[in-house]
Amino acid sequence: MRRRWKRVLIGAFAGCAVLADAGAVAAAAAVSSEQLAISTPPAGSAAWVEDHSFGRSLPDPATTTPAAAAAFFASLAPTELDRLIQDYPLVVGNYDGAPLDLRYRANRIALAAEHDRALARAADGTLDSDTRALAVSRANDVEHLLAPDRQILAFDPRGRGLVTEVWGDLADAERISVLVPGSDADLGHHDQAADPLRSPAGMARALHTEEQRQAPDTRTAVISWTGYVTPSGLGPDAATSRLADVAAPRLERLLAGLKETTRPDAPPALLCHSYGSVVCGTAAPDIPRAAASPSDTSGITDLVVFGSPGMGVQNTGELGAGVHLWATRNPSDWIGNVPFMEVGGLGHGADPAASGFGSELISSARAAGHNGYLTEGTDSLHNFAAISLGHYQDVVRANPGS
């Protein structure tokens, strides 16, 4: 009975948030089903652990740190690496700490296999029409990611599908940005031709273009990280931190892996949209720090939240030392009407864009709605790129009282 009433309360909370400004159509999304979080290692991990044909144990993906993984892969001969990506593409392609080029190659193999599997299901006359249609959609989504210019850092076909993609030369980048998306980010919504800024790929592409415009001589890379199962629509999952709690350690591993495989001149900047800011707030106290001393500003992690429903904390002090929090929300973003509170596990705490939270408020002038922050010509896109580049003097602060 208690579980039933908790679900009722969650649905009511989500429904209130939706009805605040999103309209009756979006309200229907509040009844969407809860999502199954992915917390286990990728498919093939069990066989990987049991494989002793290399004359040594292969490191368990469930327990091996990215630093230990980097050391393991560095110890292998090229022929051994080739064999691993052929036999275990999903394991290698998702292994934080593995060489970047190796992961790109492994994920291309994994994507090709998923493409073939989807086409086979689409042609299987024993399956119902809806299942075959979903298989056609999956094949199309995967096919786009197999284009020669795509750099897929991680791919997991389970459930709705997880995808992490890179723009720029990640191995050689001086500045790295990581975009953490919110609800409805998955394989099927990774790169949308219509309304591209609703998709992680579209947002990352826009940010990388703006970084290049502002600093054409700086080597930059942007990562769109859909490495967690996001809420579907504005249903019950959007009102709790359940999915963020599972996502946070995965984000921490990504960043720990980047410490082993990249050499930027400052820690990666995190740009967290909507529910993604809940993930970032949960992960913040444990994300890798790089400062040699408290006065070493190169070790400060820039964390930007936009369209945030809260971060699961009451102020910046709860994010841990070494985090510089920037926040923005445009007046037409419906998320501003969400109750900023946390009661009995519902809600995500205080508003990071409110005075007193401790964030540095930046302008999002000319941005419109919940998904318009990376639109060309907006203050928010300009600011996100300037922060990612470390050009803090170019950041346009919010006008007090606006």
pLDDT tens, 89-113? 999 999 999 999 999 999 999 999 9
- What is residue 177's three-state secondary structure? strand
Three-class DSSP category at 361: strand
Q: By the 8 A CB rule, do 109 and 152 touch? A: no
Determine the pLDDT at residue 290: 62
More confident residue, 340 or 261: 261
CB 156 within 8 A of CB 225: no
Q: List, for residues 312-331, the tens digit of each pLDDT value.
A: 999 999 999 999 999 999 99
Nearest to 56 by CA among 85, 77, 82: 77
Model confidence pLDDT, tens digit, residues 238-285: 999 999 999 999 999 999 999 999 999 999 999 999 999 999 999 999
Output the CA–CA distances (angstroms, integers) from residue 161 to 80, 114, 154, in the order listed. 28, 11, 11
**What's the CA gap between 13 and 236, in Å, rounded?**
8
The predicted structure's pLDDT at residue 33:
67
pLDDT band at 300 (very low <50, low <70, confident <90, very high): confident
Model pLDDT, residue 235 = 80
Contact 141, 160 (CB under 8 A): no
* pLDDT value, residue 339: 86
How is residue 389 written in tokens? Answer: 């580049």
C-alpha span between 303 and 280 (Å, rounded): 8
Q: Which residues pair with residue 273 across a beta bridge?
A: 306
| Tens-place pLDDT, residues 114-161 | 999 999 999 999 999 999 999 999 999 999 999 999 999 999 999 999
Q: In the predicted model, what is the mean pLDDT of residues 165-181?
A: 98
* pLDDT band of 401, cuts 50, 70, 90: low
Rounded to the nearest integer, the mean pLDDT of the chain is 90
Expressed in percent and rounded to 5, the helix, strand and coil fractions of the chain are 45, 15, 40
By the 8 A CB rule, do 228 and 246 touch? yes
**% of the chain beyond a pLDDT of 70:** 89
What band does 343 get if pLDDT is binned at 50, 70 and 90? confident
**Which of 313, 320, 312 is CA-nearest to residue 289?**
320
Do the beta carbons of residue 289 and residue 297 sit within 8 Å?
no
Identity of the amino acid at 193: A
Cβ neighbour number for residue 2 with a 10 Å cutoff? 6
Strands 162-168 and 220-226 turn out to be antiparallel
Instruction: Tell which residue, 71, 72, 68, 113, has the closest CA to residue 89.
Output: 113
Instruction: State the DSSP code for 21.
Output: T
For residue 85, which amino acid is it?
Answer: I
The model's confidence at residue 172, banded by pLDDT at 50, 70 and 90, is very high
Which pLDDT belongs to residue 288? Answer: 76
Q: What is the pLDDT of residue 278?
A: 97
What domains lie within the chain, and their CATH numbers?
2-31+159-394 (3.40.50.1820), 45-138 (no CATH)
Per-residue confidence (pLDDT) for residue 334, from 0 to 100: 95
Please give the pLDDT value at position 234. Answer: 78
